[in-house]
Chains A and B, each alone.
Chain A
Amino acid sequence: QKEVEQNSGPLSVPEGAIASLNCTYSDRGSQSFFWYRQYSGKSPELIMFIYSNGDKEDGRFTAQLNKASQYVSLLIRDSQPSDSATYLCAFKRAGSYQLTFGKGTKLSVIP
């Protein structure tokens, strides 16, 4: 069964704070995990991917993966108003051609 759960939010954080976005998945065959950002009325754009347990950092973004707990998260440090968007997590099974998305978490960064 393919399923991705995300807190729909909205999640509100003050400017400069750390925003924490979480995602759980039920498919233990999941291999790769992706975080996409989608501004209102726009198409999704990839922020980060992760496929090994642990943390992966890229600028202000850190993705964390725990396959044993079936949990992936995205931390945004020093949040900016321009980070206000909906964040979609997604996963892909090994060898699969399909990408399964969560419903997204809406983030608002308050100036």
Chain B
Amino acid sequence: EAQVTQNPRYLITVTGKKLTVTCSQNMNHEYMSWYRQDPGLGLRQIYYSMNVEVTDKGDVPEGYKVSRKEKRNFPLILESPSPNQTSLYFCASSPLWGRASTDTQYFGPGTRLTVL
């Protein structure tokens, strides 16, 4: 089944404890992206990657890191999480993003992160 998976789905942690949220897609998509969703603020892009070893900042990159060493994986790293990073996080992927008008993004199930 074609899908985007994220792990963990739920995570409660404490301020300053490094964590990684994994994202994997099995559709051979070139483009992958991370978003956070907060009440009243909507979906905001954190980082995106156009291909292996190619990443760029989105609208809210502060406090986050990413890497794209393999095409299928795009982990999100919080080196020193803070309470303002408590949010719902979505990973997404797309086959041709940026090259065609009609390409679309496929979203993972989401990771609900709480930083105490």
- Chain A: residues with CB nearer than 8 A to chain B? 31-32, 34, 42-46, 49, 51, 88, 90, 94-104
Contact = CB atoms under 8 A, between A and B. Distances in A.
Contacts of B110: 42-43
Given A34-B104, A45-B107, A51-B101, A103 B41 contact: yes
Contact of A104 (B42, B56, B104, B108): B42
B48 A44 contact: no
A78 B32 CA distance: 35
B43 interface: yes
B30 to A, nearest CB: 10
Interface of B: 31, 33, 35, 40-45, 48, 50, 56, 58-59, 90, 97-98, 101-102, 104-105, 107-110
A43 B107 contact: yes
B105 A99 contact: yes
Contacts of A99: 33, 45, 105
B102 A97 contact: no
B41 A97 contact: no
Contacts of B41: 103
Nearest to B38: A103
A50 to B, nearest CB: 9
Contacts of A94: 101
